[in-house]
Amino acid sequence: MDFGFWLFQTLNALQLSMLLFLLSVGLTVIFGLMHFVNLAHGALYAVGAYVAATVAGTVGYWAGLITAPLVVAELGLLLYWLLIRRMRQSGPMAQVLVTFGLIFVLLDLTRIVWGDIALGIEVPQALAGRIEIGGVTYPVYRLFIIALGAAIFAALALVLARTQIGAMIRAGVDNDKMAACLGINVERLFLAVFCVGCGLAGLAGAVAAPILSVTPDMGLQILIPTLIVVVIGGLGSLWGAMAGSLIFGFVQTFGAVLLPGLASVLIYALLAAVLILRPAGMFPARG
């Protein structure tokens, strides 16, 4: 258990965090902006992975990585027009039920389209293999996930802090009624954010596909970790999603190393602690 071992585990934790960040950032901003709970977010991640696996099998990995977010964003658009728009005024309980039902609809649709047998795709040639950093050899593809997560975070942070649309989103999260009074079309803003969030879920699925197995229930498996990240980080905030992801990734990874018997309990204990001490999460978007 030398320095190399800990560096290795730190990279593992970062990789898991970044994957969760891609998923949770969409969910949390949708949640923060419109108080809309989209439980089907995990199912969209699974669809992304399947689309990526299909395209990667015929055209190539990079085409899959680009196609998956676009297809899932389109799917988000479809869901918005068919369902979510009607559900906007119906209160959180109805929304939770509808999107919960949507999980199973999407799950069975993926089963019908792609079958029950798990799929897998190979890591692209350019990212295959391992490189040496600080005395440990680490898979290049995992470093790519870390870099991609960090890049998306930087891009979103920039858009939110420095652009007009970012200011509109922040205004919408802070006080949507006031934002609407000031002439911001909050509904259209919501649609845009919703599609981007869905696209990021699709991207996460495409990125995860080469290291995980692509199965119909992968969306269900990732949903709980994603919700934990959102709750720990605080609803609606980009920084919260990042902080929550990092906390989850590190607690999960180092929990597995240091307290293997408690690995699956630790994160729930932390969740309970956060809910008691800071019910709004670590970095809530509004005061």
Partner 1 sequence: MKDKLIGVLAGLCAGGLAVQAAAEEIKVGLLLPYSGVYAALGNDIEAGFRLGLQTFAPETQASFAIVTEDTEVKPPVGLAKARKLVLDDQVDVIAGVVSSGVLGAIRDFVHGSGVPLIVANAGNDEATGEQCSPYITRMSFSNRQVNRPMGDWLHAQGVQKVFTIAPDYAAGRQMIGGFVEGFAAAGGDVVGQEYTPFQKTQDFGPYLAKAKASGADAVYAFYAGGEAISFVKQYDSFGLKAAMPLYGAGFLTSPLYVEAEGPAAEGVIAALHYVPTIDNPANAAFVAAYKAETGRMPSEYAVQGYDAARALVVASATGAADREGLARALAQVSFDGPRGTTAIDPATNNIVQPIYVYETVAGDGGLTQKVVAELPAEADPANGCTLSTTN
Q: Are 224 and 216 in contact (CB under 8 A)?
A: no
Strand partners, 139: 130
CA of 228: how far to CAs of 105, 234, 278, in Å? 23, 10, 14
By the rule CB under 8 A, 204 interacts with partner 1: no
Site for partner 1 in 45-74 (CB under 8 A): none
Helix (H, G, I), strand (E, B) or coil at 133: strand
In whole angstroms, the minimum distance from the beta carbon of 248 to partner 1 comes to 11
Q: Which is nearer to partner 1, 58 or 164 (CB)?
A: 58
Which two structure tokens, joined as six digits, stand for 125?
């040639």
In whole angstroms, the minimum distance from the beta carbon of 123 to partner 1 comes to 7
In whole angstroms, the minimum distance from the beta carbon of 64 to partner 1 comes to 15
By the rule CB under 8 A, 212 interacts with partner 1: yes
Residue 249, Cα to own-chain centre: how many angstroms?
Answer: 13
By the rule CB under 8 A, 192 interacts with partner 1: no
By the rule CB under 8 A, 135 interacts with partner 1: no
Q: Which is nearer to partner 1, 92 or 129 (CB)?
A: 129
Which two structure tokens, joined as six digits, stand for 120?
């897998």
Q: Which is nearer to partner 1, 112 or 178 (CB)?
A: 112
CA of 175: how far to CAs of 168, 194, 238, in Å? 10, 18, 17
By the rule CB under 8 A, 157 interacts with partner 1: no
By the rule CB under 8 A, 124 interacts with partner 1: no
Q: Rounded CA gap, 180 and 264, in Å? A: 43
Site for partner 1 in 236-265 (CB under 8 A): 252-254, 256-257, 260, 263-264
Q: Which is nearer to partner 1, 15 or 24 (CB)?
A: 15
In whole angstroms, the minimum distance from the beta carbon of 78 to partner 1 comes to 24
Q: Rounded CA gap, 68 and 216, in Å? A: 16
Nearest to 48 by CA among 196, 228, 219, 193: 219
Helix (H, G, I), strand (E, B) or coil at 136: strand
Residue 287, Cα to own-chain centre: how many angstroms?
Answer: 24
By the rule CB under 8 A, 116 interacts with partner 1: yes
In whole angstroms, the minimum distance from the beta carbon of 275 to partner 1 comes to 20
Q: Rounded CA gap, 63 and 160, in Å? A: 28
Q: Which is nearer to partner 1, 23 or 37 (CB)?
A: 23
- Binding stretches for partner 1 (CB under 8 A): 1, 5, 8-9, 12, 15-16, 108, 111, 115-120, 122-123, 130, 137, 139, 141-142, 208, 210-215, 217-218, 221-222, 252-254, 256-257, 260, 263-264
